[in-house]
Copies of this chain bind each other. A is one copy, B any other.
């Protein structure tokens, strides 16, 4: 990952807020990300785990919300997140037909963790999101099972790869190689700074619609690549983490601002796309051992939300861009190819991108 290029490495800045030290979702304290990629003769897929805190999240549930911009998708676990406003599971990302097995693996993982901690587990709400990698993967095989999920969780750390890795292994974004991308923003508020980070699994969009800092570079690349235009059947999942003390309702409001970043990067929200955003805060964890009839929580004043809103929009746009820039070209034996954005951005385009908005 040290060697991976990202938008900032190419001199591309998105928005006005400063990124965190890693410019990744793991700038939010306690958040870790791990991958397991599975590549074989007929499949090219994987799984990515977002661990929301150092704590056992079942025992210290976090305020959470989800938002469905377009629901042609199979994300699991959102009913309970909406009702209770919390998250009690890691968030796993994988391919569309594999969500059932990943769900079951999360159950097994939670049973073991709870057994080890002496916590009885009768009910558990795994959150599993997906995009469809059938363009590069024989999705019918469902090769992501318990060992792959456990490996992704075990792999979780603060540094992690982006692009065609983990759940991103087989994903296609704007008809180029896509996958995992991340970015973060720092927010100055009382007792801060606070951080908001985004991780996306990008698998949506047409090449001609791709934009970088507003420039329609996708049209230029499309003219060169003569890519066959396909229906936009992809999806994008965005996971937002923050250490800002916000309520579940406020997290729901934050989710909606991810759509700003998606639109700016080129999405038209295709009808066949699952565009889903899940957000959690690491503040105000709800510990089962707490007891008592009431809990004290600290929440952001509503009129301060413009700051995390902007952070969510900017970090989502940059995360999508990073998912494309970090990805490598894929060429399969059967002739299927996904070009990568990094190789398509010539120096002239990069100069124009860097110059835009500077007013010169």
**A binding-site residues for B, Cβ under 8 Å:** 16, 68-80, 82-85, 96-97, 99-107, 111, 121-126, 132, 134, 139-140, 142, 189-191, 208, 211, 213-216, 219-220, 223, 231-233, 245, 247-249, 253, 256-257, 259-264, 267-272, 274, 276, 286, 290, 292-306, 309-310, 313, 356-357, 359
Q: What 5 A-B pairs are tightest by C-beta distance, nearest first?
A: A214-B214, A71-B83, A100-B103, A100-B104, A216-B357
Which chain B residues lie closer than 8 Å to A304 at the CB level? 293
Contact B293 A295 (CB under 8 A): no
Which chain B residues lie closer than 8 Å to A190 at the CB level? 292-294
> In angstroms, how far is the closest chain B Cβ from the Cβ of A91?
15
**Complex: A261 Cα to B139 Cα, angstroms:** 34
**Complex: A60 Cα to B142 Cα, angstroms:** 25
12 intermolecular pairs with C-beta atoms under 8 Å apart? A75-B79, A99-B103, A107-B142, A189-B293, A215-B356, A215-B357, A245-B294, A262-B263, A268-B309, A269-B313, A271-B302, A292-B301
**Complex: A99 Cα to B267 Cα, angstroms:** 33
Which chain B residues lie closer than 8 Å to A220 at the CB level? 359
> In angstroms, how far is the closest chain B Cβ from the Cβ of A206?
10
> In angstroms, how far is the closest chain B Cβ from the Cβ of A358?
8
Query: With A70-B83, A294-B298, A301-B293 in contact, is A271–B306 under 8 Å at CB?
Result: yes
Which chain B residues lie closer than 8 Å to A100 at the CB level? 76, 99-107, 126
Contacts A70-B253, A260-B268, A271-B309 known; list 13 others, CB within 8 Å: A68-B83, A73-B79, A75-B79, A84-B302, A100-B103, A122-B139, A214-B215, A214-B356, A259-B260, A259-B269, A268-B310, A272-B303, A293-B304
**Complex: A309 Cα to B231 Cα, angstroms:** 13
Which chain B residues lie closer than 8 Å to A99 at the CB level? 100, 103
> In angstroms, how far is the closest chain B Cβ from the Cβ of A23?
20
Q: How many copies does the complex hold?
A: 4
> In angstroms, how far is the closest chain B Cβ from the Cβ of A42?
14
Tell which of A73, A107, A190, A293 has the most Cβ of chain B within 10 Å: A293
> In angstroms, how far is the closest chain B Cβ from the Cβ of A103?
3
Q: Quick one: closest B residue to A66, CB to CB?
A: B79
Contact A79 B78 (CB under 8 A): yes
**Complex: A191 Cα to B298 Cα, angstroms:** 20
**Complex: A42 Cα to B5 Cα, angstroms:** 54
Query: With A122-B139, A309-B270 in contact, is A71–B82 under 8 Å at CB?
Result: yes
> In angstroms, how far is the closest chain B Cβ from the Cβ of A72?
6
Which chain B residues lie closer than 8 Å to A290 at the CB level? 301
**Complex: A296 Cα to B272 Cα, angstroms:** 22
Contact B245 A247 (CB under 8 A): no
Contact A96 B68 (CB under 8 A): no
Contact B274 A256 (CB under 8 A): no
Contact B293 A296 (CB under 8 A): no
Contact B72 A83 (CB under 8 A): yes
Which chain B residues lie closer than 8 Å to A263 at the CB level? 259-264, 313
